[in-house]
């Protein structure tokens, strides 16, 4: 499966690692062309991040290992886009 986009729910402690450290760790993974790290929520000692990664033939295991190696924690996958091209989410009309 050719994964082209991943949206991950990631948590980290407030003090460290820095967003730059996480970004550098992800950038070093195979197939990563671009990434976006956005602050989702801040707790007393932790902060939640939404990380969007786009590229070609992304290796989720390698990316999750890189994020956890930097000292953050992957809580889950929020979105996967795969295939020959990227398709955006289509809202159900009910």
Partner 1 sequence: MKFDDWIQDPRSRLDIVAGLVDGILNALTLASAKLVAQGGLTLATIGKVAAVTACTTSFVFFVAHYAQLRSELVRAARELNLLAHGHLATTQLGKQILQESLWGALVASVCGVIGSTIPLGLSLAAPSLPIVGLALTVALLGLLGWFLASSVFGSPALWAGGLMLGGVVVTAIGIQLDILS
- Candidates 17, 52, 62, 81: give the one binding partner 1 (CB under 8 A): 17
Q: Which of 14, 33, 25 is nearest to 70 (CA)?
A: 25
Piece of 27-35, 41-49, 53-61, 77-85 that binds partner 1 (CB under 8 A): 41-49
Please state the closest distance from residue 51 (CB atom) to partner 1, in A.
Answer: 16
Number of Cβ within 10 Å of residue 50's Cβ equals: 16
12 binds partner 1 (CB under 8 A): yes
Contact 17, 70 (CB under 8 A): yes
Please state the closest distance from residue 9 (CB atom) to partner 1, in A.
Answer: 12
Contact 69, 25 (CB under 8 A): yes
Residue 74 in tokens? 């992957």
Q: Which residues bind partner 1 (CB under 8 A)?
A: 11-13, 15-17, 21, 25, 43-46, 68-71, 73
């Amino acid at each position: 499966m050719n994964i082209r986009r991943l949206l991950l729910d990631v948590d980290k402690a407030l003090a460290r690692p820095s967003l730059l450290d996480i970004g550098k760790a992800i950038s070093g993974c195979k197939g990563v062309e671009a990434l976006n790290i956005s602050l989702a929520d801040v707790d007393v000692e932790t902060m939640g991040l939404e990380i969007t990664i786009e590229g070609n033939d992304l290796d989720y295991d390698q990316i999750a290992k890189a994020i956890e190696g930097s000292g953050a924690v992957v809580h889950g996958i929020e979105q996967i886009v795969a295939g020959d091209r990227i398709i955006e989410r289509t809202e159900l009309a009910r």
